[in-house]
A and B are shown apart, each in its own frame.
Chain A
């Protein structure tokens, strides 16, 4: 079982520094960090929580084994998703 990093990754290195399994590396192809599914242990045996998902600052960037974001929209910034949408619409409309 493995977690996955998707395109919204901003390559901040934070997960790379804390992964106990050395499962995270920069992908030259995808231009962001990725998790090697063969190496990822989901931090089992090392920590209670998966480390990458505990430090990643970007919502919806790290998915669990079922493909569901561990940090859903609004969970890290505290910005309600509806509010974010509304403000982004306003900015677009300018």
Chain B
């Protein structure tokens, strides 16, 4: 089967976002995908912007070994304060992983996706990875399976993957150019040798591309992740986007490099910087012209449990699981009911959106400049978080075409837990820096001090829409801005900067 990849992101408000009969439970970002693919992804929290407010995913850490070295990774590092990809605290055997999956599925019925992502490369651990998938396909048929890989061993595993009916594969592809590759991957382990530099990178790139083609030929969904490394592959990623799309990847997710000296990674120690939020967004925007992007990804650690962006792993450590006695047959019934309830809620929301988010006439005529707004939310698609409690903000763009989700801004990247990770700038200035480019921040509540500082920074705090649906509130605020003439002037932060 050939995967059709759509080349344009559907404008949010066009025709109410409804292109086919199955409209309703999917979100706009997916509304232009062929039905078969959309059906596969519509309640996958990693693929659907809408669903990720409601559904949860988990990763089990059964794959410790790796077959390549990346300059943004350090295999020595394991800090429980951290929620970085590739970092994991508790390694599980396949049997333990199955036990944990059942325990989580029974306690968090919203959990619909089980992934194996590390802490090494899942396909460099084929026995442990496939033993886990085999047991789960048999014992927990209502859970979708997915796997991430660097791609080196992928061509050898495609046959096995298709046998287990694993329909989501994520390949991390940072480059298609061996010279750039050599600046990202110092070595690979290949055919029983360690191969360094350009030669190793060339083999890795060939394997990734071959694996991508083999998967899409078999109709297995492929998502591509890329790490944006300023000065190394940032410009090049546009070409990567074009190529992986041409080969049938259905999503391309550009993530920021995370590099701190404390992590002991090559990039961290050598002072390679990560992208600023606005640089990341600019690249994502440019790649979006080429293919569907996934903006709501928060890079999660290999053993993450919960809704994207929150990690409930602590509730499901091995000793706690041992005490839970899970009857999975019973759990499946409860899960089915919960899923049906969520599907209904999503359908309702979609229908409402179709009515509301289509902007009123004056808005369309005006062709006013777009405005970025940040939202503090803990889920359910409503504005329900205190400004000071937000560890990340969702950023939306309001324009004459409607409301569009742009991405997440982490407040204090990956180190939320106290002062063990070295110097920390104050949370408030961190929040304000993360909101660069936004003109409004919507939250449930906000204190006086942050209010003042935000205003000084040219960001207008707004607590008037607590508990309201995000899209509706943004549209309302945008309308108000138009009516008050606020959009006739350049954004405040820009006039500040030039003053």
A13 and B124 CA atoms in complex are apart in Å by: 10
User: By the criterion CB–CB under 8 Å, are A51 and B192 in contact?
Assistant: yes
Contact residues of B between 78 and 92, Cβ < 8 Å to A: 91
User: By the criterion CB–CB under 8 Å, are B266 and A91 in contact?
Assistant: no
Indicate whether B491 reaches chain A with its CB closer than 8 angstroms.
no
Indicate whether B338 reaches chain A with its CB closer than 8 angstroms.
no
User: By the criterion CB–CB under 8 Å, are B65 and A54 in contact?
Assistant: no
Q: B189 is contacted by which of A10, A48, A54, A79 (Cβ under 8 Å)?
A: A54
User: By the criterion CB–CB under 8 Å, are B65 and A13 in contact?
Assistant: yes
Please encode chain A, from 47 to 89, with 1 for each CB lying within 8 Å of some chain B CB and 0 for all others: 1110100110110000000000000000011110001100100
**Chain B contacts of A17 at CB under 8 A?**
65, 124-125, 127
User: By the criterion CB–CB under 8 Å, are B76 and A10 in contact?
Assistant: yes
**Chain A contacts of B71 at CB under 8 A?**
77-78
User: By the criterion CB–CB under 8 Å, are A47 and B186 in contact?
Assistant: no
A79 and B192 CA atoms in complex are apart in Å by: 24
The residue in chain A whose Cβ has the minimal distance to the Cβ of B195 is: A54
User: By the criterion CB–CB under 8 Å, are A91 and B261 in contact?
Assistant: yes
A23 shortest CB reach to chain B, Å: 16
The residue in chain A whose Cβ has the minimal distance to the Cβ of B67 is: A55
**Chain A contacts of B6 at CB under 8 A?**
none
The residue in chain A whose Cβ has the minimal distance to the Cβ of B91 is: A11
Indicate whether B5 reaches chain A with its CB closer than 8 angstroms.
no
Contact residues of B between 39 and 77, Cβ < 8 Å to A: 64-67, 69, 71, 74-76
**Chain A contacts of B186 at CB under 8 A?**
76-78
Please encode chain A, from 13 to 40, with 1 for each CB lying within 8 Å of some chain B CB and 0 for all others: 1101110000000000000000000000
User: By the criterion CB–CB under 8 Å, are A55 and B262 in contact?
Assistant: no
User: By the criterion CB–CB under 8 Å, are B69 and A77 in contact?
Assistant: yes
Indicate whether B269 reaches chain A with its CB closer than 8 angstroms.
yes
The residue in chain B whose Cβ has the minimal distance to the Cβ of A51 is: B192
A54 and B369 CA atoms in complex are apart in Å by: 56
A8 shortest CB reach to chain B, Å: 8
The residue in chain B whose Cβ has the minimal distance to the Cβ of A54 is: B194
**Chain A contacts of B120 at CB under 8 A?**
12-14
Indicate whether B417 reaches chain A with its CB closer than 8 angstroms.
no
A17 shortest CB reach to chain B, Å: 6
A83 and B91 CA atoms in complex are apart in Å by: 32
Q: A12 is contacted by which of B66, B266, B269, B422 (Cβ under 8 Å)?
A: B66
A79 and B120 CA atoms in complex are apart in Å by: 21
**Chain A contacts of B127 at CB under 8 A?**
17
A87-B269, A94-B423 given; A57·B69 CB < 8 A: yes
A94 and B71 CA atoms in complex are apart in Å by: 25
User: By the criterion CB–CB under 8 Å, are A10 and B261 in contact?
Assistant: no
A47 and B190 CA atoms in complex are apart in Å by: 13
Most chain B beta-carbon neighbours within 10 Å: one of A51, A57, A58 = A57
**Chain A contacts of B67 at CB under 8 A?**
14, 55
A77 and B125 CA atoms in complex are apart in Å by: 22
User: By the criterion CB–CB under 8 Å, are A83 and B270 in contact?
Assistant: yes
Contact residues of B between 416 and 449, Cβ < 8 Å to A: 422-423
The residue in chain B whose Cβ has the minimal distance to the Cβ of A8 is: B76
The residue in chain A whose Cβ has the minimal distance to the Cβ of B268 is: A87
B95 shortest CB reach to chain A, Å: 16
B65 shortest CB reach to chain A, Å: 4
A47 and B193 CA atoms in complex are apart in Å by: 9
User: By the criterion CB–CB under 8 Å, are A57 and B66 in contact?
Assistant: yes
Indicate whether B250 reaches chain A with its CB closer than 8 angstroms.
no
A17-B65, A76-B69, A83-B269 given; A58·B189 CB < 8 A: no
A13 and B63 CA atoms in complex are apart in Å by: 9
Q: B194 is contacted by which of A49, A79, A84 (Cβ under 8 Å)?
A: A49
Indicate whether B187 reaches chain A with its CB closer than 8 angstroms.
yes
**Chain B contacts of A49 at CB under 8 A?**
192-194
A10-B76, A83-B269, A90-B261 given; A55·B194 CB < 8 A: yes
Interface of A toward B, CB cutoff 8 Å: 10-14, 16-18, 47-49, 51, 54-55, 57-58, 76-79, 83-84, 87, 90-91, 94
- Of the A-B pairs whose beta carbons lie under 8 Å apart in the complex, a sample of 28, sorted by A's number, is A10-B76, A12-B65, A12-B120, A13-B64, A14-B64, A14-B65, A14-B66, A14-B120, A16-B65, A47-B192, A49-B193, A49-B194, A54-B189, A54-B194, A55-B65, A55-B189, A55-B194, A57-B69, A57-B75, A77-B74, A78-B266, A79-B266, A79-B270, A83-B269, A87-B261, A90-B261, A91-B422, A94-B422
* A17-B127, A78-B71, A78-B266 known, 9 other contacts, Cβ within 8 Å: A14-B64, A14-B120, A14-B189, A57-B66, A57-B69, A76-B187, A78-B186, A90-B261, A94-B423
Interface of B toward A, CB cutoff 8 Å: 64-67, 69, 71, 74-76, 91, 120, 124-125, 127, 186-187, 189, 192-194, 261-262, 265-266, 269-270, 422-423
